[in-house]
Structure 1
């Protein structure tokens, strides 16, 4: 083949390739659509408005490492006060906790969130736990009554 023919064919192929990129195909003009609405998860608060509601479960007490730290409501935790942690009860709720084995009870105020251990219903301060049971046991079967 002659070099001029090869050059002519090569130039033609190159021109066709370049022109094919300039076409208005619907496939290339489609702009990607992004769904901007995100699904919303609505969590309804647990209603604990009934006074004297009785719940049975297990209670534990705070470790000493939490002494002096902030609780979930911003108060400084004190092992000597009669306070407790509960996952859903509103802060300030007063709860009567009774040890079912010896029938001793204590009234505590919820000021923190927890316990985060499966099977436990309420975390008591050390002084509250000591009022109804022996701290060596670590966990007690209790009856919890919501007072306010």
Structure 2
């Protein structure tokens, strides 16, 4: 019995001497967002969306909370409470009317960032803009987008 006690004690003491490499293998997360630079004058010449002011169908999503307080591509501080949006190519300051096709609710947002960078999505809305036209639980909405100015 005494041997079992000494063996267990030795095992406990030596297990505290080992090191684990788990804390050294933590994944790193890239927090910088890619920026797409577009010449506004070239964009207006080549893009029929601005000339014809047509309605475009697509999918809208909203910003994650982790972007709150960070700089947008145009240098402003992002605020989930403002009616703003990210679009890949529209010039900064462009006003866009976004309408949820399932309930016909719409919101007017100002483009101040670049994105979304997920295939199949057309526009990223701030959380307050998304809430104005749909439920945030859905995550993605089918929308129409009309460029106002």
TM-score normalised by the chain length of structure 1 = 0.68
Q: Which has the higher helix share?
A: 2
**Which position in structure 2 is the counterpart of 1:101?**
102
Map 1:1-148 → 2, pairs under 5 A: 45=43, 46-47=46-47, 48-50=49-51, 52-148=53-149
Q: Is the 8 A contact 1:61 1:124 kept in 2?
A: yes
Q: CA RMSD in A?
A: 1.4
In structure 2, what is the Cα distance between the partners aligned to 1:52 and 1:125?
23
SS in 1 for 2:66: helix
CA contact (8 A) 1:82 1:127 kept: yes
Mapped partners of 2:83, 2:71: distance in 1: 16
The aligned counterpart of 1:8 is none
For 1:104 and 1:52, locate their aligned partners in 2 and report how far apart those are by CA, in whole Å: 19
The corresponding residue for 1:40 is: none
Larger radius of gyration: 1
Tell me if the contact between 1:68 and 1:77 (Cα under 8 Å) persists in the aligned partners.
yes
SS in 2 for 1:49: helix
Write out per-residue CA displacement over residues 59-102 of structure 1, whole angstroms, 9 at most, x where no aligned residue. 00000000000000000000000000000000000000000000
Q: How many residues align?
A: 106
Runs of at least 4 residues off by over 6 Å = none
Distance in 2 of aligned mates of 1:52 and 1:98: 15
Q: List alignment gaps of at least 5 residues for structure 2.
A: 1-38
- Cα pair 1:79 1:125 within 8 Å, conserved: yes
- Secondary structure, aligned partner of 2:109: strand
TM-score by length of 2: 0.68
